[in-house]
Amino acid sequence: MKKIQLTLLEEDHEYIEFLSDYLRSSEWRNRVELNVFTNERVFQEYLMQEPVIQLVLLSENANKEWKIDRLKSDSSLMLIVLNDTQHQQNEGSVFKFQPADRLMSKIITTYAEVSETSLSSGNVKTKLLSFYSAMGGVGKTSLAVNLSRQLALVGENVFYLNLELMNSTSLFFNSPEDQHTSQLFYYAKAKPELLPVKLEELVKRDPYNQVDYFDLAVNAEEMKDFTAENLRTVIQALAGSGTYDYILVDLDSSMEERVREALMLSDLILWVLSNDVRSFHKTSHLLEFSERLFGKDSNLKEKIFFILNGYMGSVPSSFERFDVPVHVQLPAMKEWEQMESGRALTTTTIFPDHVLKLIMQEDLKDGVPLG
């Protein structure tokens, strides 16, 4: 993937160091090539070589004093002025003294919207784990949230993606920057080519749990209209960011389009059961009809890891008729009953080490396919 050629015209050496250090240490290092000029004469000599310039950031002084009329009249490149004061922002300018991640996100998003450039990379192996159950109330979301935290605790980079009709992410993950938004739906549906460069604005990070997530506004109508193609766009953008080892998808107990697509894309399906005949009954019938739902060539059953949640010491022998193999049994968590805060789900760990290692095993295929 070709890097964007970013040229910075700036005389403030401290600011140059600030921006350069950020670009070298962030994910932008694989997406942006920075060229810096502090002297107008040197820059003019550089222009005589007819270099490839796509995006120019220039200080207020350079914009006023440097002779760059040639650049301003060139429609093939974009100029963005770095304003010293926040109230001066307008089209073609950004506030100079803001956090580097926000600054670069705004700059590159603006550039991408004009040039229709996509910044996703295609060499990342991100594992996609989906939590599913055939009926509600079995603790699926509780386990998805808890596993996200446990994976983060052992050093994995984790993204939690809630695709339930009524999104409940805000109960479990929070950050000081939370601001409920539906922009994810807009970009996934209307501007999918721009989603990769919008991620840095849309993704939030819970500082306690060290888990990333979308601070989505609860919008059942938007989620219901979320198609398989929309989901692929989001998953590929996340995987293509080069940031995540795992994406954990929390699904509805339905077979709507987005749910079926997530199951098909998954490297591993963590299918949650309860010690209830209805849970085993519905699971059995869904497995029976999986070929009709997913096609003859799907390997859905091979990817399923059955978790019996709330295990009380035994399973009725009559459940054997459903032919649902239980791979692991997790105990009932009394502290998760009648919770006053979602934080209770992440202050304890429920997955034993050997189960965690099994989930993290290397033979979970090759990760999310990109492209």
> Within this chain, do residues 11 and 85 fall inside the same structural domain, yes or no?
yes
CA–CA separation, 37 and 61 (whole Å): 13
Among the three residues 85, 115, 145, which one is the final residue of a domain in this structure? 115
Residue 362 is predicted with a pLDDT of 46
- What confidence tens digit (pLDDT) does each residue in 283-326 have? 999 998 888 888 877 778 889 999 999 888 888 899 999 999 99
How many structural domains compose the chain? 2
* Structure confidence at residue 61 (pLDDT): 92
Residue 58 placed within a domain: yes
pLDDT of residue 365: 46
pTM: 0.70
- Domain range for 339 is 127-359
Nearest-angstrom CA–CA distance, 178 and 175: 6
Q: How far apart are CA 216 and CA 202, in angstroms?
A: 9
Task: Report the pLDDT value the prediction gives residue 194, as an integer from 0 to 100.
Answer: 82
Domain-located, residue 367: no
State the CATH number of the domain containing residue 311: 3.40.50.300
Q: Please, what is the average pLDDT of the chain?
A: 85
Residues in the chain with pLDDT values less than 50: 1, 116-124, 362-363, 365-371
pLDDT at 363: 46
Q: How far is CA 173 from CA 18, 162, 223, in A?
A: 30, 11, 19
Q: Does residue 110 sit within a domain?
A: yes
Question: What is the CA 29 to chain-centroid distance, rounded?
Answer: 19
CA atoms within 13 A on the CB side of 112: 23
Q: Residue 363: phi, psi to the nearest 5?
A: -90, 25
Question: What pLDDT does 357 receive?
Answer: 84
Is 190 found in the same domain as 44? no
pLDDT (0 to 100) of residue 17: 95
Burial readout 120-156 (b: 16 or more C-beta within 10 A, e: otherwise): bbeebebbbbbbbbbbeebbbbbbbbbbbbbbbeeeb
**Neighbouring residues of 347: CB distance < 8 A, sequence distance ≥ 6:** none
Which among 115, 144, 168 is the end of a domain? 115
**Domain match, 319 and 226 both:** yes
The answer to whether position 366 is within a domain reads no
**217 in the same domain as 77:** no
